[in-house]
């Protein structure tokens, strides 16, 4: 059976899995990223991880057809260079060439949101659909567009970067250098920021001002906290408005909502669906599904493996 290794390179952990052609994980592991040691060290430990996952000391080609890797930043999929990875402090780091030289198997790279989108579209929430847009709500807002089993990358591998749709003219500063990007409002970080602004303004709330998380805000919302309701509404309203725009360009069958914040479950999809129907064209509002991701943290490794399995 055809197999590949999928790697999900994150700011905190490097996850890897041996995945077969049906999308089943046969073996997986996770190691700390230790970004401070620099790219050469990370690539070397990824190489060792691939060998362990394949159960060989040499020649992973005996076990796998290739390696796919999802990187948390902007990539150049033609040159195999990670162009800018803020979390890791990387700029123009060659990834594909050094890994494929060491491992003697083809290596494919994409950004982590695209890899996760491919995983969900393949064997997750999008598996029965011809087109899906995955939206990852975490520290930022990631996006990936999959049409007929292929990621839409665009001319400069920037397609699907929906977290940087500018939703507010006078909003908060974004990591990308822009202002008012979707992810400054609708990510977990954005939800916490909005809640902190409300708390600082002295609005009555049960929310703690210190070590506040997006999960706290969703929980307080369930209990009827006014500030939490207002904050979540703003985050979901803004995201729904962004999705209504994505929908007229891409017209996907389904939006799949993943990432840490998706743990809030149907509280997110129901609210989104409601706002989405007020912004989207009626035919789009009636037919487009909004569903929760089903692969959780495995979406990235499964999707990365898919890159190599059906390249
Ligand atoms: Zn931005």
Whether the per-residue pLDDT at 139 is higher than 90: the answer is no
pLDDT in tens, 241-288: 999 999 999 999 999 999 989 999 999 999 999 999 999 999 999 999
Is 78 in a helix, a strand, or coil?
coil
Q: What CA–CA distance (Å, rounded) separates 169 from 181?
A: 9
Average pLDDT over residues 132-152: 94
How far does residue 72's CA lie from ligand 1's centre (Å)? 14
189-203 per-position pLDDT tens digit: 999 999 999 999 999
pLDDT value at 157 more than 90: no
69-99 tens-digit pLDDT: 999 989 998 899 999 998 899 999 999 999 9
CA 48-35-185 angle, 5° bins:
125
Contacts of residue 240, defined as CB under 8 A and 6 or more positions apart, other chains included, come to 272, 274, 275, 276, 278, 279
Mean pLDDT of 216-230: 96
For the chain, how many residues are written?
311
Ligand 1: centre distance to CA 162 (Å): 9
How many Å lie between the centroid of ligand 1 and the Cα of residue 176?
Answer: 4
Which are the contacts of 59, defined by CB distance < 8 A and separation ≥ 6?
104
Q: Name the pLDDT band for 311 (thresholds 50, 70, 90).
A: confident
DSSP string, 114-147: HHHHHHHHHHSTTTT-SEEEEEEESSSEEEEEEE
pLDDT at 206: 94
- Asked if 100 and 62 touch (Cβ cutoff 8 Å), the reply is no
The mean pLDDT of the chain is 95
β-bridge mates for residue 8, sequence order: 15, 70
Average pLDDT over residues 133-160: 93
Ligand 1 centroid distance, CA of 16 (Å): 28
248 CA distance to ligand 1 middle (Å): 21
The CATH homologous superfamily for domain 125-294 is ATPase, nucleotide binding domain (3.30.420.40)
Contacts of residue 219, Cβ cutoff 8 Å, sequence gap at least 6 = 228
Tokens 């990591």 map to which residue? 175
Average pLDDT over residues 205-217: 92
pLDDT of residue 134 exceeding 90, the answer is yes
Q: Quick check: do 3-112+298-309 and 125-294 share a fold?
A: yes
CATH topology of domain 3-112+298-309: Nucleotidyltransferase; domain 5 (3.30.420)
- Residue 294 has a pLDDT of 97
Contact of 110 with 98, CB cutoff 8 Å: no
Per residue in 13-31, pLDDT tens? 999 999 999 999 999 999 9
Distance, CA 158 to ligand 1 centroid (Å)? 12
Domain ranges for the chain, please list them. 3-112+298-309, 125-294
168 C-alpha to ligand 1 centroid (Å): 11
């Amino acid at each position: 059976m055809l197999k590949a290794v999928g790697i999900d390179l994150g700011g905190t952990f490097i996850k890897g899995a041996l995945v077969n052609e049906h999308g089943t994980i046969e073996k997986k592991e996770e190691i700390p990223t230790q970004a401070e040691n620099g790219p050469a060290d990370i690539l070397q430990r990824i190489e060792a991880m691939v060998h362990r996952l394949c159960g060989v000391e040499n020649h992973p080609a005996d076990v796998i057809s290739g390696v796919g890797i999802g990187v948390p930043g902007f990539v150049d999929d033609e040159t195999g260079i990670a162009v800018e990875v803020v979390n890791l402090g990387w700029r123009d780091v060659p990834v594909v060439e050094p890994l494929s030289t060491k491992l003697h198997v083809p290596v494919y790279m994409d950004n982590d949101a695209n890899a996760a989108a491919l995983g969900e579209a393949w064997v997750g929430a999008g598996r029965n659909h011809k087109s899906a847009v995955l939206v990852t709500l975490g520290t930022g807002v990631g996006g990936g567009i999959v049409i007929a089993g292929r990621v839409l990358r665009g001319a400069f591998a920037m397609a699907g970067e929906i977290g940087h749709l500018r939703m507010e003219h006078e909003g908060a500063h974004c990591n990308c250098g822009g202002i008012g990007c979707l992810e400054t409002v609708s990510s977990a970080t954005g939800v916490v920021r909005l809640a902190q602004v409300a708390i600082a303004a002295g609005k009555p709330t049960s929310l703690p001002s210190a070590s506040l998380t997006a999960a706290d805000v969703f929980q307080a919302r369930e209990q009827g906290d006014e500030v939490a309701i207002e904050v979540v509404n703003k985050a979901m309203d803004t995201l729904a408005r962004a999705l209504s725009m994505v929908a007229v360009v891409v017209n996907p069958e389904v939006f799949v909502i993943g990432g840490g914040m998706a743990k809030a479950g149907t509280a997110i999809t129901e609210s989104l669906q409601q706002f989405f129907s007020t912004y989207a064209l009626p035919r789009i509002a009636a037919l487009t599904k909004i569903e929760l991701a089903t692969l959780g943290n495995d979406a990235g490794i499964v999707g990365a493996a898919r890159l190599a399995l059906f390249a």
